[in-house]
Amino acid sequence: MGTPLGARTLTVLVIVAPWLVWLPNVQGTLAVAVLGAIALAGAFHGWGRLVARLARCELGAALAIWWGIAAVLALSGLGIALHVYDPRALVIGGAVAHAIEVALAFDGTARALEQALRWERVRYWIVPFGLVVVLGGLRAVGAAGSVGARPFDDDGHVIAQVKRLLDTGALADPIGYAREAQLGGHAVLAGLVGAFGDARSAHAVDALAFVLVLVLALAELRPRDAASATWSSLLVIGMSATIIHWPDFTPQWLAVGLLLALYVTTDRARGALGVGLLAGGACVLRDELVPVACVLLAYAWWRERAPWHVDRARVLALVVTAAAVVVPYVLARHAAWASVDRSARALVEPAHAGFIARLALFVVVAAASLPLLWLPWRELGGTRLRWFGVAAACGFATIAIAPATERPIAAHYVWAIALAGFDVLAIEAASRRELVRVAFVAAALACVLVGESRSSTVHQAFWLRYYDLLHDIAYLRAAAPEPPAYDVLAVVPPGETVAVWVSRPELLDYARNRIVDLRTRRTARLRVPGPYDRRLEELVAATRARWLVLETDDAYVQRANDNSIYELACARDRELCADSLEALAYRHRVVAEHDGVKLIALREP
């Protein structure tokens, strides 16, 4: 392949590959998943190149992809604010930009490929990149078929929100997706699968981000000799093997990638636009990443600080770009909340400790985290690394105050920051020649991680994860379309507001009715035994819903198991035995009932 003809052929393939998913004969779910992942990567690259061209900044392909992800987040924010979010337009737009960029630099790309494919270079990158292709590729494709994966995050049913995005172009459900812990960045990125697939494959985007994180790390490590290739391989295997208990559907690798890309970009000349985009992107993804992004944003300013009149344009680029990403999301969330009565927010807003207590906790944890960074600081030095250390400490501190609120999910983001830190350390360490302590610690850590993930019996164990992924891939070969569901909604007039408590909200038609999803982690706590607690009824009223769709579940069985007196007293169906949600069916008319799903007219007693 390391010939001019081979390189040019590959370059043509690079241009064409993102378009293959739309070929009419690409029908199988597996083929769509594989080619869709390539299309997304191509689209991200295209948007990233476009931004780089605007900023007149030289970028490698791997970093451009992450700039592209941040750009897509920015555009999507505008899209959801204006209710015009369209994943197809985003992906096709990016693919066009990608094709044009590669075509314009055709000779240069072909030459670079030709150089890269020479044996003296191939021998060093083939091992780490081969590992990325196998370990990352299986994860990216398999995630598209993981129908058993949990669809919830701490705000709500993410797959349903992706379906809502695809149907309506907006995230306008303040109850079903309150966005208390984030601004909706994950949902819009996950929604990109709507360009060629359905919402069920939304897990594939974060899994693709795993591959893109590794590619970015390898691009920075530049495996050009045995030492850098060993570091690269160690990183890939360590990241693949690490056991992370991450049950919810949250943006794990997207967060890692955005932080890593932000760290890398802070060192780039003319990178202000990219830094702003990436910092904004991290902020809209999760609240826990905000302090990390802010510290790195501050470092980007500090690194080339100059008198205001000289540095004005750069500072504005940093701040305005970041704000431009965040503000549309804030507006969209505000608009969503405005669509329901104020009382609703009080019912679902997470309780938390006072500001002073949280601030104190933040400071203590941030200070306590700093000694952890002693070894890399002492061995590696470097101002940028120190700033990253401070940013990570702030991130840990932000997460640490989560127990003071009702957001246990936040603790998982320690991993996102730690994994980004692990990448950063590997990148920094690989560029040094003599690193006895860091090299040994890194090697021992990687061995321990692999050893632990090998000997673990939990479901996240190394091979069990790939066992699941490969069965997910096998499923993609024979995946069936979703059967129709919730026929009872047919009697509801179009445009009316419907509150729903159903197990498969992703099968609803969000374009036909305004739907409010009640089945979230926060509203679930309002569903209590007995018909006398009116909080859930108040919440439904605050949404101005005229209809309620309630899917029968076995909350009764749960209550009966917990309480034998209840089991005896409530052997028959009666209002006294209903919980606060089921009681609504007794107080209002049940218009239709089919297959365990009741349609209740809330305005009719």
> Does position 408 bind other proteins by CB under 8 A?
no
Residue nearer to other proteins on the CB measure, 286 or 521? 521
Nearest CA to 381 out of 347, 431, 418, 343 is that of 431
Is 142 or 191 the residue whose CB approaches other proteins more closely? 142
The 3-state secondary structure of 187-227 reads: HHHHHHHHHCCCHHHHHHHHHHHHHHHHHHHHHHHCCCCHH
Is 530 or 596 the residue whose CB approaches other proteins more closely? 596
Q: Largest Cα–Cα distance in the chain? A: 82
φ and ψ of 551, to 5 deg: -90, 125
Identify which range of 31-39, 48-56, 414-422, 457-465 contacts other proteins by CB under 8 A.
457-465
- Report the nearest approach of other proteins to the CB of residue 529 (Å): 13
| Closer CB to other proteins, 302 or 467, in the complex | 467
Q: Select from 37-45, 185-193, 341-349, 439-447 the region that touches other proteins (CB under 8 A).
A: 439-447
Which residue type is seen at 207?
A
Side-chain half-sphere CA neighbours of 457 within 13 A = 0
Is the Cβ of residue 214 or residue 273 nearer to other proteins in the bound state? Answer: 214
Residue 363 touches other proteins, criterion: CB under 8 A:
no
String marking each residue 504-543 x if it binds other proteins according to CB under 8 A: x--------------xxx-xxx------------------
Alpha-carbon gap, residue 351 to 354, rounded angstroms: 10
- Which residues 6+ apart lie within 8 Å of 582 measured at CB? 531, 550, 555
Binding status of residue 234 toward other proteins by CB under 8 A: yes
* Residue nearer to other proteins on the CB measure, 333 or 521: 521
For residue 224, give the nearest of 137, 133, 127 by alpha carbon.
127
> Following DSSP, what letter does each residue of 17-58 receive, concatenated?
GGGGGGSTT--SHHHHHHHHHHHHHHHHHHHHHHHHHHHT--
Residue 199 as a binder of other proteins (CB under 8 A): the answer is no
Please check whether residue 296 is in contact with residue 262, taking contact to mean a CB–CB distance below 8 angstroms. Answer: yes
DSSP 8-state secondary structure symbol assigned to residue 313: H
Q: For other proteins, which residue of 471, 512, 544, 588 counts as binding (CB under 8 A)? A: 471
Which of 444, 491, 571, 576 binds other proteins (CB under 8 A)? It is 444
* Among 17-25, 110-118, 230-238, 573-581, the segment contacting other proteins (CB under 8 A): 230-238
Among 462, 486, 510, 547, binds other proteins (CB under 8 A): 462
Helices (H), 370-456: 374-380, 383-400, 413-430, 436-455
Q: Which of 57, 332, 401, 439 binds other proteins (CB under 8 A)?
A: 439
Measured over the CA atoms of residue 195, residue 199, residue 202 and residue 204, the dihedral's sign is: negative
Output the CA torsion 68→71→72→73 (10° steps). Answer: 130
Closest approach of Cβ 559 to other proteins, in Å?
Answer: 10
Interface residue with other proteins among 150, 303, 386, 588 (CB under 8 A) is 150
Sign, Cα dihedral of 471, 154, 160, 260: negative
Closest approach, Cβ 122 to other proteins, in A, equals 12
- Which DSSP symbol is given to 605? -
Answer yes or no whether residue 84 interacts with other proteins by CB under 8 A.
Answer: no
Q: Does 124 bind other proteins (CB under 8 A)?
A: yes
b/e sequence 472-481, b meaning 16+ C-beta within 10 Å: bbebbeebee
Binding track over 15-44 against other proteins, x by CB under 8 A: --------------x---------------
Residue 595 near other proteins by CB under 8 A: yes
Q: Give the nearer residue to other proteins in terms of CB position, either 143 or 283.
A: 143
Question: Taking the complex as a whole, how short is the minimal distance between the CB of residue 27 and other proteins, in angstroms?
Answer: 10
Check residue 593 for interaction with other proteins (CB under 8 A). no
Q: Is the dihedral of CA 525, 531, 532, 538 positive or negative?
A: positive
Q: Per CB under 8 A, does 553 bind other proteins?
A: yes
Query: Is 493 among the residues that bind other proteins (CB under 8 A)?
Result: no
The 8-class DSSP code of residue 481 comes to P
| Euclidean distance between CA atoms 368 and 412, whole angstroms | 19
Q: Name which of 156, 184, 182 is nearest 170 in CA terms.
A: 184
Cα dihedral sign, 258-262-268-270: positive
From 58-66, 79-87, 253-261, 429-437, span contacting other proteins (CB under 8 A): 429-437
Q: Does 570 bind other proteins (CB under 8 A)?
A: no
Q: How far is the CB of 378 from other proteins (least distance, A)?
A: 18
Q: How many residues bind other proteins (CB under 8 A)?
A: 78
Using the rule CB under 8 A, give the single segment among 191-199, 393-401, 443-451, 542-550 that binds other proteins.
Answer: 443-451
Nearer to other proteins, 371 or 451 (CB): 451
User: Given candidates 17, 26, 147, 511, which one binds other proteins under the rule CB under 8 A?
Assistant: 147
273 by DSSP, 3-state: which? helix
**Contact with other proteins (CB under 8 A): which of 133, 226, 363, 364?**
226
Q: Which of residues 301-360 bind other proteins (CB under 8 A)?
A: none
d(CA 164, CA 508): 9
Selected from 36, 46, 77, 151, the binder of other proteins by CB under 8 A is 151
Contact 181/286 with Cβ under 8 angstroms? yes
Given 58, 84, 364, 467, the residue binding other proteins (CB under 8 A): 467
241 near other proteins, rule: CB under 8 A:
yes
**Secondary structure class of 152 (helix, strand, coil):** strand
